[in-house]
Chain A
Amino acid sequence: MGDLLAPADTFEVLLGNEAIARGSLEAGLNVAAAYPGTPSTEIGEALSKVAKKLGIYFEWSVNEKVATEVAMGAAWSGLRSLTMMKHVGFNVATDAIFTLAYAGIAGAMVIVSADDPHAHSSQNEQDNRHYSEAIGLPMLEPSNSQEAKDLIKEAFGISDRFKVPILIRTTTRISHQRTPVKLGEITAGPGKGKFAPKEPDRYLQVGAIARKHHSELLRKLKEIQMNVSPRFYKIEGSPDSDFGILTSGVAYSYAKEAVKLANLNAKILKLTMTYPLPEKVIGDFLSSVTTAFVVEELDPYLELRAKAVAKDYAPDVRILGKLTGHMPRVGEYTMRTVLEGLSKATGIASPIDFAKIDERSSKVLSKVPPRPPVLCPACPHRSAGYALRRAAGGAAFIGDIGCYALLFEKPFRVEQVTHAMGSSIGIGNGISLATGEDVVALIGDSTFFHAGIPALINAVHNKRKMTVMIMDNKITAMTGHQPHPGSDFNAMGEKAPAVDIEDVVRSIGVDYVKVVDPYNHAEMEKTIREALKRDGVSVIISRRECALLTVRRLRREGRVGEPYIVDPDKCTYCRVCMNTFACPAFVDTGSIVEIDPTICFGCGACTQVCPYDAIIPQKGSLNWREQGIGV
């Protein structure tokens, strides 16, 4: 990780997300709030580490909407605030953001949307550029870490001048690239705000007031389009070429190199403010070429708008891209995507023989076993999944967003749904209503706080019969262990009141609430069977800390457990362990199953799985009771 506080005028290797954090510090940030989500998380992680030292405030909020409202409240009180979220998190926040555009702000505010083309760690690959126009907020798109840092400063400046929040849109390959970044002076610090609306109806959006503010927003956007947007573009390449490339964001970095590699005589228009677009800049560019090739990931956002501009400026220009079938709409781009698209568009041969590479490498790849993501060794979710498979085999399993989504894999298959944050309980409501059959909704603790509680209330009030299993490790584990309202500390590193899930569930009116250590397989199975028999809503809280944290805790306590071993005399090679528990530490030798000591965390949960008691501790191993649940 880069040093976020390195001195000005030096170069530091920064992740795109760290560059955004640093940029906001250079722009005088006072307050930031976010909910973690890949690929946006490291912005908050970086701020969390330095907040105390700089006197600024950072929190991991309960969800993206609340994070936005926290940042809004601070900006309405005259401070400089930031919120950031993954693309689907933005959906959660939009209810607040749409109207925020009308309301405007008193200080300055920046909202970062980190999109995930290719859905590397997401449930979809939605293109949040559409939001900028739909909401009516200016959008800037960086194409590398340096630009990310610099644009955040610009964004705060524009926000301060026009009193509207500014959107920054990154994509995974921007968020998660590291480059040397030249640093500026940090000006962030504590801010004392005052909530004093300039006009009495400034923040009262309804009817005539909303319409007045809508007109005001449109006026501001017009001015930004005329005077600000034309500052954020560049044109490169051969000025006299009649082949133009229109691009933005990370796609620019692929286009730039691809053109050079293909030795193509072309010029590139790289747009940095992608809403509102600098119409005249695009129009003049289109007038200067006969063909314009659009390189952008996901939707034909620039392509459609270029076509609209061309109607007035250059009606004869050929615009090629996704709509003409030259470029794909699904997945992320690479230089190869661009080279292949350029070959189709211009007829020039690709400088790389991809067919030959594909032929040669596919022969190798067909022999390489796939390695799908897998639950870590000792993961408590593995034990919960094992018990669910055995005790609730025939139920409809409605899963949610978190590591436990991996329970969709064999041998567990206890996730038939992964949809949106908190959706498991809501969807479970509907499936229970429609089928009257056993429904198990699985949800993590952080996800439960985020959006699961209203759905649980709905289930109780509407007399649904369903079982909810809350996988509680008292932390947001998947994104790297950020605290949530159930944790006893916060993002500033301070002690914080932990909201108890059991209390929340009971107060909603659920009378069957059981807390079980998932490592206790017999107890967990018994509880699941009991819960499924209940009328109404039953809740099982599967509580144990994330195994990665157990390892750290035991090391801290000076009592790391030795790996477990397999007694070769007792192992009958029945493969029950492999076919029902599938810990990554298991090694199938062809005659017995062994445990790889470099992988085994020493949890011992698997000892309960072997029908022949062949999995045994060695000297220095701790059993799961001795380890404690840690939370």
Chain B
Amino acid sequence: MNVKEFNIIVSGVGGQGILFTMDVIARATLKLGLNFVQSEVHGLSQRYGSIRTELRIGENVSSPLILEGTLDLLISLEPLEGLRQAPYVSERTTVVMNDHIIPPVSAYIERFPIPSFEEVLDLMRSLNPKDLITLSAYKLAEKAGDYIVADTVMLGAAEASGALPFPEGALREALKEVSSEEYRNLNLKAFDLGREAVSLPR
């Protein structure tokens, strides 16, 4: 298979499983024999800081960072962190977004208004994304058995969005491989719930 260029950002806050989510995508990409480069920043703020990791698939990609306006898929585990990727979102972007806002505590102290989810959606729409898919990943994760697998719910939703340049099943296989024994079944269940949530008529 051949992919010219496909750019993905996974964003959210520290502790939501952002790096794990991208690990699964990277594993799937590797197994398909596709070239890619992924980038992330480590250090400070292990929990509840703003986190983003990006991955670029393509025969000739070399820059580890995505160029503004050229994002193909945004998976955001937190809506405000989704909006923070605004410079990258354009007409070619599919957005898959969790609906649970985690307000930064500093916003309360500084009295910075926190947009409602409806306002987040309007702001996202102002960027004219190709598709905007939202879901309640935490609720679905709880349904699967534990809210901590909200990240894999989002992966399932991302697959069902049809945006990824992967054949059916590739992401699920990768998830199986990357998951620890302990979480494998829970992860797969969460993945399927995420996939169903998006596949159903919206």
Residues of A within 8 A of B (CB): 11, 13, 38-39, 41-42, 120-121, 143-144, 172-173, 176-180, 250, 252-254, 256-257, 260-261, 334-336, 339, 352-354, 357-358, 360-361, 363-365, 367-374, 376-377, 403, 406, 409-411, 478-480, 548, 575, 578-579, 582-584, 586-588, 596, 598-599
Contacts and interface: CB of A to CB of B under 8 A. Distances in A.
B104 interface: yes
B44 A257 contact: no
Report, nearest first, the 8 A-B pairs whose CB atoms are least far apart.
Answer: A121-B43, A373-B45, A38-B43, A361-B86, A369-B107, A253-B62, A376-B47, A371-B104
A361 B62 contact: no
A361 B87 contact: yes
Interface stretch (B112-120, B154-162, B184-192): B112-120
Contact of A373 (B44, B84, B138): B44
Contacts of A598: 138, 147
Most buried by A among B80, B109, B126, B147: B109
A235 to B, nearest CB: 16
Given A180-B30, A357-B87, A260 B67 contact: no
Contacts of A548: 46-47
Contacts of A579: 109
B26 interface: yes
A150 to B, nearest CB: 16
Given A365-B86, A367-B123, A177 B38 contact: yes
A177 B48 contact: no
Contact of B37 (A178, A336, A358): A178
Interface in B91-108: 102-108
A498 to B, nearest CB: 24
Contacts of B104: 369-372, 374, 584
Given A335-B63, A377-B48, A176 B105 contact: no
B72 interface: no
A185 to B, nearest CB: 21
Contacts, number: 192
A120 B43 contact: yes
A173 to B, nearest CB: 5
A360 B44 contact: no
A370 B106 contact: yes
B103 A39 contact: no
B80 A180 contact: no
A254 B64 CA distance: 8
A410 B30 CA distance: 44
Contacts of A254: 63, 65
B13 interface: yes
A56 to B, nearest CB: 24
B173 interface: no
A40 to B, nearest CB: 10
Most buried by B among A172, A177, A180, A364: A364
Given A336-B67, A376-B46, A479-B43, A409 B106 contact: yes
Given A121-B43, A367-B119, A582-B105, A334 B65 contact: yes
Most buried by B among A368, A548, A587: A368
Nearest to A260: B60
B150 to A, nearest CB: 9
Interface string B36-58: 11111111111111100000000
A371 to B, nearest CB: 4
A598 B47 CA distance: 12
B81 interface: yes
Given A257-B62, A357-B87, A371 B68 contact: no
Nearest to B58: A257
Contacts of A371: 13, 48-50, 80-81, 84, 104, 106
B39 A177 contact: yes
A144 B115 contact: no
A121 B69 contact: no
Contacts of B46: 376, 548
B123 A352 contact: no
Interface in B113-157: 113-115, 119, 123-124, 126-127, 138, 147
B65 to A, nearest CB: 5
A411 to B, nearest CB: 6
A177 B64 contact: yes
B179 interface: no
B148 to A, nearest CB: 9
Contacts of B69: 352-353, 357
Contacts of A121: 41-44
A409 to B, nearest CB: 7
B112 A370 contact: yes
B83 interface: yes
Interface residues of B, number: 58
Given A13-B30, A411-B109, A367 B115 contact: yes
A374 B67 contact: no
A42 B83 CA distance: 30
A403 B102 contact: no
A121 B49 CA distance: 13
A360 B124 CA distance: 11
Contact of A334 (B41, B60, B67): B67
B27 interface: yes
A365 B84 contact: yes
Nearest to A1: B23
A339 B70 CA distance: 14
A452 B81 CA distance: 38
Nearest to A41: B42
B164 interface: no
Nearest to B13: A371
A374 B123 contact: no
B97 to A, nearest CB: 13
A578 B108 contact: yes
Contacts of B170: none
B105 A586 contact: yes
Nearest to A364: B86
Nearest to A335: B67
Most buried by B among A121, A371, A373, A406: A371
Contacts of A360: 86, 126-127
A186 B167 CA distance: 34
Contacts of A336: 67-68
7 contacts: A250-B64, A364-B86, A365-B86, A370-B104, A371-B84, A374-B106, A584-B102
A374 B49 CA distance: 6
Contacts of A144: 37, 62, 64
B65 A335 contact: yes
Contact of B127 (A42, A364, A376, A403): A364
A19 B99 CA distance: 37
B35 A583 contact: no
B163 interface: no
B112 A176 contact: no
A364 B83 contact: yes
B42 A179 contact: no
A406 B44 CA distance: 9
